[in-house]
Structure 1
Amino acid sequence: MSAAFPAPAWLVGCGNMAGAMVAGWRAAGIDLGGVTAIRPSGAPVEGLRVVTDLPDERPRFVMLGMKPQKLDEVAPALAPHIGEDTILVSMLAGTGAASLAARFPAARSIVRVMPNLPVASRNGVTAIYSDTTRSGDRATVDALMGALGLVVRCEDEAMFAAIGAVAGSGPAYVARFVDALATGGEGLGLEPHVATAVAAATLIGTAAMAATGEPMADIARRVASPRGTTEQGLAVLDAPGGLGPLVERMLAAAIARGEQLAKDAAAAG
């Protein structure tokens, strides 16, 4: 199925993530003529009509892209516009399908999506979960998200949260590691701009190797000569309390925050 927006379509909130998705859809050549971004600031979004208030129309597609904490400010005015012809797509972290259904009971289908910022270049990862979606609506959402990169359809919201922690938050974690690698290079005497360029180029080159499908362990093994310098560095990362446990704690913190947001949303609903 080719990717296309049911029109009229609304993007309720269009911040960093939704803006990245719009950039990816533009790059994919998807027609955005029937899409309206609703932003209280009125700030322009390339390729979209932008309004500050909800239009006087019944949308067939609505994507929620504001901060999760804003949901209960937005829902009372938005709910009357959501009817039996509306596909409701939510990017709100920690806001479960049941909480969305409680606020928008008339929606035709409710779908949760969790993209990451590389969707802007169509190299993203998007988790999708729904327990109520009609097959035709599922195909519509799958096609739109598939235009932005890898799509993973989740069996339950626990899987959805896990992919969000790994992929949705992952670019920030990877960026932190690259920044730390660059800072380490500075500590070895490199000029800051050189250290940053080298660390970033190393990330890009490694990503290209990963894109071939070669296992990460095999890439590491090919780089690390026996008893060489890389092997000594890997020994630090692989030590008890090293990189593996650190990543586990990092992901656990992200999951715990998502669970708290879900509890808050359920209590408010």
Structure 2
Amino acid sequence: MPNARPAPTVRRRRLGQALRRFRGETGMTLDSAAEAVGWTAPKLSRIETANAHLRPADVATLLRVYGVDDPEVVAALEGLARDAGKRGWWQTYSGIVSPTYADYISLESDADCVREFSPLLVPGLLQAASYARETIAANAITRSPEEVIALAEVRLARQSVLARPERPLKLWAIIHEAALHQRFALRPHTMREQLRRLLDAAEMPNVTIQVMPMNATPHPGSVSGFSLVSFPGPMPDVVLLENLLGSAYVEGVDEVQVFADAFERIVAAALPMDDSLALISRMEEGSRK
């Protein structure tokens, strides 16, 4: 039986894109670069397109050919090569978690910072357990009750990145006020628990929460929500866009910059953090009456 081709993971794609970019900056062709390291052009092409595995030991060799000797860059790309096929805790949910979602959890686990604008729901990293179950049940219309429970478990497990001992993820979440007025007929205390969860999370030094008020000035977030994921070192940012059918990534440097610029404008249109938390606190108090 022939060897199966490695499934392109998001880490492998990021590695291939970085190597292709460095090769392009030298002006080298696939043939000339491959010859310089004693490979074939098809092999290098498969690496750049995330269809082949690259050993960490070969990363520095290839980068030397491209004139890249920055230790930070070399270490970052070696790390991607080393972890490209690494199994994470979410692999135990492989029958539930889609490949795209698994890729995103992998990104999140590698990330240094996530900037998210969420116009309709509280971001997953800030959701209370009851809120996660209710909202997943409402949106995962093709899922069984057992799968909904499993997906809620995954969503809550993701939140561990905010409290990891080394390099906890920095989260900057902007939530539209409309999302905080949602009501749950079968479990009316759900939003109260969620508001309390936001207030508790905001006490973490690596978490920033802002609310986009109902009367905000026009801003780029009127189009849709998005998550902008940033990594330590030289690795480029990635944007996640979600819809009912799944998720899509924006990975081009110029395209990602559009979202980074948009996020700055969204920040400016939202309430400052202190005012945002004051609003959430008033809403939480009102929900107890």
Same fold (TM over 0.5): no
- TM-score w.r.t. the length of structure 1 is 0.26
- TM-score w.r.t. the length of structure 2 is 0.25
